[in-house]
Amino acid sequence: MSVSSQDQMTQQDQFLTQLLSECQKRSVTEESTFSLWRQKRQQEAATTVANSRMPHRKDEEWRFTDLSPLLEYQYQKSHSFDISSQAVDAFNIPEATTRLVFINGYYSPTLSQVENLPAGVKVGNLAALEAKEKSKVTDYLTQQEGGEELFTALNTAGFDDAAVVWVAKNTEVETPIHLLFLSVGEEKPSLIQPRCLVIAETSAKVNFIEQYASFSATDAASYFNNPVTEVWVEANAEVNHIRLQQEALNSFQIAKTAVTQAQDSRYACYPVSMGGRLARLDFDVFQTGTQTDTRLYGLTLGNGEQLLDTHSAIAFRHPHSSADQLQKNILDDNGRAVFNGKVFVPQKAQLTDASQLNRNLLLSDKAHVDTKPELNITADNVQCAHGATVSQLEADELFYLRSRGLDSQAASNLLINAFAAEIIKEIPFKSVREGLYSSLQNRFLG
């Protein structure tokens, strides 16, 4: 190992040690059975972090994602802020009558709206749960597979509170639940660690919108957001999940979403990534029963110097299940995207029906994408397909549109909109769709 490599490893070790020290600064002092359980889980996670090292590009899972910019700052644990309700209304989603608001990971009851929920539906923050509810939460919170991964363990070691959505069996929630995680940049670089837990019990149905957005001043320091979301979809339940990542462009987000689906369940997610200097989403789905269906329709919008990374894994474990994944990336300027999608179909997952496609549209010569769809199949009676395309705006399509009277800009706008619309049109809420089309307009269209 060269001296420079040793220096780099030392820097990374120091960075990780400092992060762990910051996230262990507790603001929760409650003493209860639940608190003792949580302290034990958090200490276990802290030990995992302490025994880990920062990933780097020699690691296959991080080959295309250079974390060096993240290490440029020394982060301090974030603080809570007061924000006016009028300011938060800018993030209002009209279809959602229930809203949980967290500022830098801290719950804001005054900005949240959790009244008039149907019987059997619990929406609130972890700290406010009743003792019997906290006892039941221990069956789910921090129990997803992959909890030992570095950044997930870092979150587990340090989160103070969590958003909780719990839908009892045979209960349907018609309107979406909005989980708004606002990040406020401070004078010094800050570390933010939101946590989210969603449980749909047997035959329940729920739609939720998980939104990460910035409320930083223009001169605010960079921040590092490290959120973790756990979703449990029990037998015959249905969950529709829209995930919007709109962090500040000088920020970093390394996020984890883990989903466990039981027999006959249905889970659909629409992850949209457009913010952050460097943002990565690790998305794992574990199918633990037969006749389980998973739909992932993702969209990434990147420009400037952004690097936006999506890593997904769908693990089949029983026969007669299905999954459909379409990930689209649109990149301009020096924007970069990474897509690595894995589908695991073991021998016992016979009669699996799975498809995965990654399509990329590059609007500049300097935009770049690294795509790596993977099917890992050992079962012999399955229907599985995957593929990836990288393209620019087609000259013949532009020519055709211009021959119909459109100018060059209008023709380009139409093609970019059409490319993104295949994802956006699937999102079941009009205001979210309109917001995304507006983002397209601001980012790429003239």
Domain ranges of the chain: 11-289, 393-445
Percentage with pLDDT > 90 across the chain: 83
Give the C-alpha separation, 15 to 53, whole Å: 10
The predicted pLDDT at position 30 comes to 64
Most confident range (mean pLDDT) of 311-320, 374-383, 390-399 is: 311-320
pTM for this predicted structure: 0.94
Query: Quick check: 12 pLDDT over 90?
Result: no
pLDDT in tens, 50-68: 999 999 899 999 999 999 9
Distance from the first to the final alpha carbon of the chain:
50
- In this prediction, residue 130 has a pLDDT band, given cuts at 50, 70 and 90, of very high
Q: Is 194 exposed, middle or buried, given 0-12, 13-18 or 19+ CB atoms closer than 10 A?
A: buried
Q: Which of the two residues, 362 and 445, has the higher pLDDT score? A: 362
Q: What is the mean pLDDT of the chain?
A: 93
The predicted pLDDT at position 10 comes to 73
- In this prediction, residue 442 has a pLDDT band, given cuts at 50, 70 and 90, of confident
β-strands 228-233, 266-273 pairing:
unpaired
Query: Quick check: 7 pLDDT over 90?
Result: no
Q: Measuring CA to CA, which residue among 303, 356, 365 is closest to residue 329?
A: 303
Q: Measuring CA to CA, which residue among 316, 297, 307 is closest to residue 383?
A: 316
pLDDT in tens, 161-178: 999 999 999 999 989 999
Alpha-carbon distance values, 160 to 57, 125, 174, 202, 324 (Å): 31, 10, 30, 29, 35
Please count the CA atoms within 13 angstroms of the CA of 2 that sit on its side-chain side. 3
pLDDT in tens, 350-369: 999 999 999 999 999 999 99
The predicted pLDDT at position 52 comes to 92
Query: Quick check: 271 pLDDT over 80?
Result: yes
Give the C-alpha separation, 239 to 241, whole Å: 6
The predicted pLDDT at position 1 comes to 45
The predicted pLDDT at position 28 comes to 57
Q: Which of the two residues, 30 and 10, has the higher pLDDT score? A: 10
The predicted pLDDT at position 2 comes to 47
| pLDDT, average across residues 139-146 | 97
- In this prediction, residue 29 has a pLDDT band, given cuts at 50, 70 and 90, of low
The predicted pLDDT at position 105 comes to 95
pLDDT in tens, 229-266: 999 999 999 999 999 999 999 999 999 999 999 999 99
Residue written as token pair 């199949």: 377
* Phi and psi angles of residue 72, each rounded to the nearest 5 degrees, phi first: -75, -15
Tokens of 233: 């979809």
* Phi and psi angles of residue 193, each rounded to the nearest 5 degrees, phi first: -135, 75
Give the C-alpha separation, 16 to 51, whole Å: 10
| pLDDT, average across residues 263-281 | 98
The predicted pLDDT at position 275 comes to 97
pLDDT in tens, 55-105: 989 999 999 999 999 999 999 999 988 999 999 999 999 999 999 999 999
Query: Quick check: 5 pLDDT over 70?
Result: no
Alpha-carbon distance values, 113 to 85, 122, 302 (Å): 11, 12, 32
